[in-house]
Amino acid sequence: MRLTQGFIPTIKETPNEAQIASHRLMLRAGLVRQTSAGIYAWLPLGLRVLRNIERIVREEQDASGAQELLMPTIQPAELWRESGRYDDYGAEMLRIQDRHERDMLYGPTNEEMITDLFRQSVRSYRELPKLLYHIQWKFRDEVRPRFGVMRGREFLMKDAYSFDLDHAGAVVSYRKMMLAYMRTFQRLGLKAIPMEADTGPIGGDLSHEFIILAPTGESQVFYDAAFEEIDYLARGAGGFRHDSAADLERFFREMTSHYAATDEKHDTVKWDAVAPERRREGRGIEVGHIFYFGDKYTKAMNATVTGPDGKQVHPEMGSYGIGVSRLVGAVIEASHDDAGIIWPESIAPFRAAILNLKPGDAACDAACAKLYDALGADALYDDREDRAGVKFNDADLMGHPWQLVVGPRGAASGKIELKRRASGERVELTPEDALTRISAGVDRRA
């Protein structure tokens, strides 16, 4: 995209409504704009990141055997009256009436709706297990929306739901999702720790939150230093197969054999058993949350299948959420410096920025045109008639992994400068060599 033709409104000043780095940088780099409290418009640069995260989340869900569908944002109140949650959910639920005065709501989550879809169509245990997901906007009228997209009122979630015949099957589905989550976060360049967690209004008795360590996180967390030492991420993403129950059990044991809990589930007796020098305490951002809750919804909503013995049984369920829009903020919290964002290659809005330091200079224009031709949609071409300093600052702020700097002196002798945003390293080389360097090892499977 040519910057002069784009809609990327960057801001020089620090917006004073933003308290944390990711919120400030998302506004300054022109990723989002707030339209109401806790509700954001995604501008082109922000939308590209959101879509990239969505793509990785989707690929890992698909790889785990989950099937994508799309449920609506607006739901009928009757389903929630059946489960008993219509009253329980309280003021966080946005309630609406249609012209016929029927009670509707903007979905904060979809357990009821997926259970309804399931009970309409699935009749026999032979059709199980079923693992279904969608990526859809949610609304929760949070008391204190804050930190930009991290705690919004409208936000994008990936939510998956599993249906199994019995407890043993449900546990396999739960572990499968845990593996898919560790792979997802690893591809996003994040170190996420699965922690024992409270089940809250979703209900159930087994639950893990996936926490990214960050001083600005909303949760207080306690964990064993083992999570710093063992390369559990690489192992989690590597050897384990999602279709082997034994692999899944080994993986689950590795993820859960060391102490890690959020403050709601913190157990001082277990904590005391951790050697003092191994105890770590800090703040974290919850980027995902998985729940096993058995037949809570299938029972309340009378969803049954015929079991092997011909009797009707209520399938066992789990639900599995990832905060897709929250992740944009969480990645920035984990990866930025004073100058701006540092995108991991897998989700960067553009892989490279081309900085033409002298538009109008024949050699500069020609070299930039050549780079832009080769990179196409992966490049943001800064073709503005502006000072070099402005272009450097904006490129650092927007955080493209690579910058291709084309100045008149270098261009005349067939050279450009390649800058790596993460390390600040700069090298002078030919445009061809620069293109080879930046094309290597990119995580863009789609």
222: alpha, beta or left? (left if phi > 0; alpha if psi -120 to 50)? beta
Task: Rank residues 291 and 343 by Cβ distance to ligand 5CA and give the closer one.
Answer: 291
157, 301, 332, 347: which one contacts ligand 5CA (CB under 6 A)? 157
Rule CB under 6 A: say whether 140 interacts with ligand 5CA.
Answer: yes
Overall residue count recorded for the chain in this entry: 446
Q: For ligand 5CA, what does the binding mask look like between residues 173 and 202, x meaning CB under 6 A?
A: -----------------------------x
CB of 134 to ligand 5CA, least distance (A): 10
Site string for ligand 5CA, 246-275 (x = CB under 6 A): ------------------------------
Window contacting ligand 5CA (CB under 6 A); options: 84-92, 318-326, 395-403, 437-445:
318-326
Long-range contacts of 45-49 (CB under 8 A, 24+ apart): 45/8, 45/349, 45/398, 46/328, 46/349, 48/349, 48/350, 49/328, 49/343, 49/347, 49/348, 49/349
Considering the complex, state which of residue 136 and residue 306 has its C-beta at the smaller distance from ligand 5CA: 136
- In the set 24, 187, 326, 415, which binds ligand 5CA (CB under 6 A)? 326
Strands (E), 179-329: 192-196, 206-213, 219-224, 260-262, 279-294, 305-306, 312-313, 316-323
Q: Does 211 contact ligand 5CA by CB under 6 A?
A: no
Cα separation of 446 and 441, whole Å? 14
Joined tokens for residue 391: 């272009």
Tokens 């620090």 belong to 14
Which residues is 428 bridged to in the sheet?
A: 417
Q: Which of 169, 217, 236, 288 binds ligand 5CA (CB under 6 A)?
A: 288
Output the smallest distance, CB 197 to ligand 5CA, in A: 8
Task: Tell me: does residue 321 bind ligand 5CA (CB under 6 A).
Answer: yes
Return the residues of window 90-119 that contact ligand 5CA according to CB under 6 A.
109, 111
Find the shortest distance in angstroms from Cβ 205 to ligand 5CA.
15
Region near ligand 5CA per CB under 6 A, out of 87-95, 284-292, 346-354, 418-426 = 284-292
Comparing C-alpha atoms, which of 373, 394, 374 is closest to residue 382? 394
Helix pair angle (44-63, 324-334), 10° resolution: 110
Binding-site member from 24, 175, 187, 289 for ligand 5CA (CB under 6 A): 289
**CA pair distance 202, 433, nearest whole angstrom:** 53
Tell whether residue 152 is a contact of ligand 5CA (CB under 6 A): yes
Rounded to a whole number of angstroms, the minimum distance from the CB of residue 253 to ligand 5CA is 23
- In the set 24, 151, 296, 391, which binds ligand 5CA (CB under 6 A)? 151
CB count within 10 Å of CB 137 equals 13
Q: Which residue has the tokens 């030919």?
A: 430
Q: Minimum distance between the CB of residue 159 and ligand 5CA, rounded to whole angstroms?
A: 3
Q: Which is nearer to ligand 5CA, 265 or 420 (CB)?
A: 265
* CB of 159 or CB of 383, closer to ligand 5CA: 159
Whole-number Å distance between alpha carbons of 253 and 247? 10
User: What are residue 197's phi and psi, to 5 degrees?
Assistant: -140, 165
Q: In sequence order, which residues have a C-beta less than 8 Å from that of residue 239 and are 6 or more positions away?
A: 247
The smaller minimum CB distance to ligand 5CA, of residues 109 and 184, is found at 109
**What are the Cα distances from residue 92, in Å, to 17, 225, 398, 403, 444?**
23, 36, 34, 44, 37
Least Å distance between CB 322 and ligand 5CA?
Answer: 6
Residues at the interface with ligand 5CA (CB under 6 A): 109, 111, 140, 142, 151-152, 155, 157, 159, 202, 286-289, 291, 319-321, 323, 325-326
